[in-house]
Chain A
């Protein structure tokens, strides 16, 4: 079945550091790929998405590229801020349902 694997957390960085959160997937067919973010005390918000191979999703300085050859969708940001502290979930969508990774808790220190 479909599955998503994210890098283990938690991740702690200093402000303005470069961020990478790794995500790889296993899927049949041609899934869409997503990153969701959960800020403290809030629900899930879509951060970015990509629907086909080589697409790059971007939002709020975050980027991720749909790499079919490596079955990956790594999240990157060039310069993180304290306000980026949250839990980040990689997800894929095949037949109707979203399948989530385990989440990566990111803490940014000033």
Chain B
């Protein structure tokens, strides 16, 4: 069964460093998403991406964050200068079609980012 894969599973970084979280969505999917879950809190939407551009982003997704689909298979989330409060589980997801249709988003296993 096709699945969304994320690497690494766990990353530890020093405050102020740049990190890149990587995701390989399901191959025929067209819509891509990043969500995050701070420990013990709800899963929050960060950004959606379609046709090589951001289609929606939340207020969390500030100038520190960027997304890219560099080679037609990978989908990356970059945090330019990490802060302690960026420590969270980051989930990538993909879906075949947009909302209001019988479709669903498939999630990866997540990358746990720890900023020290």
A residues touching B (Cβ–Cβ < 8 Å)? 29-32, 34, 36, 42-46, 49, 51, 89, 91, 93-103
Contact = CB atoms under 8 A, between A and B. Distances in A.
Most A CB within 10 A of own CB, among B33, B89, B91, B100: B100
Q: Closest 3 interchain pairs by CB?
A: A43-B109, A44-B107, A100-B43
B93 to A, nearest CB: 8
A93 B56 CA distance: 14
A94 B43 CA distance: 16
11 contacts: A31-B99, A45-B107, A89-B43, A93-B99, A94-B99, A96-B33, A96-B50, A100-B44, A101-B42, A102-B42, A103-B42
Given A96-B48, A97-B48, A51 B91 contact: no
A98 B35 contact: yes
A51 B64 CA distance: 35
A99 B41 CA distance: 13
B109 A93 contact: no
A96 B109 contact: no
B51 interface: no
